[in-house]
Amino acid sequence: MGGDEIKDLLWQLRDALDDPDAVDGSSRELLIQVRDDIEEYLELSSESQIRRTLSLRERLVEAVESFQQTHPGLTRAMGNLAETLAGLGI
Pairwise CA distance, residues 61 & 81, whole Å:
10
Task: Give mean pLDDT, residues 83-87.
Answer: 78
Q: What is the pLDDT of residues 18-76, one digit of tens each?
A: 877 777 777 788 888 878 877 777 777 676 666 666 677 777 777 777 777 777 777 77
Q: In angstroms, how far is CA 23 from the centroid of its own chain?
A: 15
Confidence grade of residue 15 (pLDDT, cut at 50, 70, 90): confident
Q: How confident is the model at residue 44, as a pLDDT?
A: 72
pTM, rounded to two decimals: 0.49
Task: Say what the pLDDT of residue 1 is.
Answer: 47
Phi-psi domain of 89 (left: phi exceeds 0; alpha: psi -120 through 50; beta: other): left
Over the Cα atoms of the chain, what is R_g? 12
Three-state secondary structure readout of 26-57? HHHHHHHHHHHHHHHHHHCCHHHHHHHHHHHH
